[in-house]
A and B are shown apart, each in its own frame.
Chain A
Amino acid sequence: MRKSVTLTILSTVAVVASLLVNVPAASAHGYISSPPSRQAQCASGTVPNCGDIVWEPQSVEAPKGSMLCNGGGSRFAELNDDSKPWVATSVGTSVTFNWVLTARHRTSTWEYFVGSTRVAVVNDNGATPGATVSHTVSLAGYSGRIKVLARWNVYDTANAFYSCVDLTVGGGGNPSPSPSASPSRSASPSPSASPSRSTAPSPSSSPTGATTWTPGTAYAVGAVVTYNGVSYRCLQAHTALVGWEPPTTPALWQKI
């Protein structure tokens, strides 16, 4: 008991201290979103059972120099598992890697490896990157399935951010921006065209014929749902999310 209380005190002090002290800036964060990196496939739900990485794909931070997808740290070891069903994006002889950045910190270099070969390096010389970053890398000489390891080396810390991207080289051009999406450009969004996973609970009927509000369901304008026994009409087409319950989103739902 005493030990846990001590720990609680320490952590309380730490939390409070973090509010008082100007901590050194260290938390640059980022990952490759397209072609989808392993952590992006975890965060999008494309690959299941990834562990904590699903909540923070931008946080694969570890000391510089590792050749592992998780940077060799103690966390996110799932990213190193080549047997997971990672989707390999088909590309031609060059590919453009696009990064999501949640913080922009001075950058030393961006490095790309296939196996132990560094196929590209971009030297930012300590500059601050843009709000998003893209690099086009030649993959001439490669064919078939490969795994690219990308390292974002932060200029003013000892750490790097790591992303692995699975690709199939040859037999096609660059990946199309939306591989499977064939959006209906003119028709209004149909409620059944939900991209969500198929496990959504089946909506139960209510006496009025409306269905129970269900996360993951695509609702068109005018759709009627019930939530906690109250009926609502959809004002803005959207796919329902946890946190967008009708009572808390008057911009999406009108009580009727």
Chain B
Amino acid sequence: MSPAGPAPNGPGHLLQRRNGTSPVKKIAALALLLLSVSGCAAQPTPDTGTQAAASLPARPSASRSIGIAEDGSHNATDVMFLQMMAAQYAPADKLLELAASHSTNEQVKQLAAAIKVTQADEYKQVQAWLTGWGKPLAPDSNPALHAEHGGLPATGQKEIDALAQAAPADFDREFLNLLLGHQHQAVEYARMELTSGVQPQVLEFATRIDSTRSGEIPMMLKLVG
């Protein structure tokens, strides 16, 4: 069931356990019941008393009201988070590739190159999870479903073509503003996952998405300003 993904830090690093109590178990059962109504493949979680600790890097921790699935099972949020991330990677990769050929600022090029190679590995992991669970890579096409979680990426072929045609003096600013939009979205997706996802490895992945994007954004803002 567990995808072959890197999990150097288990969920124990992310979340502290707390002894479960009976009311909490009832809540978890209710949550799982509702989740199963939503059509996802959530399975009962053996442990019901977990809560997020304030150990998320440099950010107020998400307030969780649902336990961690220590058996590695996933819920609808885990799936939606990964699908929304999957929708970002291809357009982001095209933007990042343009930076390599069009930017004249070495700092921009270097940051873009590092983001490009790390996101390529992330995408492989995301694909491995979703295909392992028998889920489509594409998110639900209803945009309203995602609007409250940052929206789906707005960078289509038209925007990528426009960036490729940008005047050299405008390229870096256009590129950085497009990528900033992407990375802010990823932070919002990760926050959604950290609030209501249950799969331990995906939660750990969301923590990394949150912290890397939150580190990239200040660098990009300094370059765009």
CA distance A24 to B177 in the complex (A): 26
The reply to whether B221 and A40 contact each other, CB–CB distance below 8 Å, is: yes
B54 on the A face (CB < 8 A): no
CB within 8 Å for A238 and B105 given contacts A34-B173, A249-B121: no
Q: Which residue of A lies closest to B213 (CB)?
A: A243
Tell whether A5 pairs with B23 under 8 Å between CB atoms, given A15-B65, A100-B181.
Answer: yes
In the complex, the answer to whether A251 meets B59 with C-beta atoms within 8 Å is no
Residue interface mask A41-72, B partner, CB < 8 A = 1 = 00111100000100111100000000000000
**Any A CB within 8 A of the CB of B72:** no
Near B by CB (< 8 A), chain A positions 198-256 give: 215, 236-239, 241-244, 247-252
Known A12-B65, A27-B151, A101-B181; judge A177-B118 contact (CB<8 A). Answer: no
CA distance A223 to B92 in the complex (A): 27
**Which chain B residues border A244 with CB–CB below 8 Å?**
114, 118, 212, 215
In the bound complex, CA of A252 to CA of B208 (Å): 15
**Most B CB atoms within 10 A — which of A33, A35, A36, A45?**
A33
Question: What sequence of 0s and 1s flags, for each residue 171-191 of chain B, a beta carbon within 8 Å of any chain A beta carbon?
Answer: 011101110110011011000
- Within 21-58 of B, Cβ neighbours of A (below 8 Å) are at 23-24, 27, 30-31, 34-35, 37-38, 57-58
**Which residue numbers of A lie inside 8 Å of B, CB to CB?**
1, 5, 8-9, 11-13, 15-20, 22-27, 29, 33-36, 40, 43-46, 52, 55-58, 89, 98-104, 130-132, 175, 177-179, 181, 183-185, 189, 195, 215, 236-239, 241-244, 247-252
Give the interface of B toward A (CB within 8 A). 6, 8, 23-24, 27, 30-31, 34-35, 37-38, 57-60, 63, 65-66, 76-77, 80, 104-107, 110-111, 113-114, 117-118, 120-121, 142-145, 147-151, 154-155, 159, 169, 172-174, 176-178, 180-181, 184-185, 187-188, 195-196, 207-212, 214-219, 221-225
Q: List 23 A-B contacts (CB under 8 A).
A: A5-B27, A11-B65, A16-B31, A16-B35, A22-B142, A23-B145, A25-B147, A27-B148, A29-B151, A33-B180, A35-B225, A43-B221, A44-B222, A57-B184, A99-B177, A236-B114, A241-B212, A242-B211, A244-B118, A247-B6, A247-B8, A249-B121, A251-B120
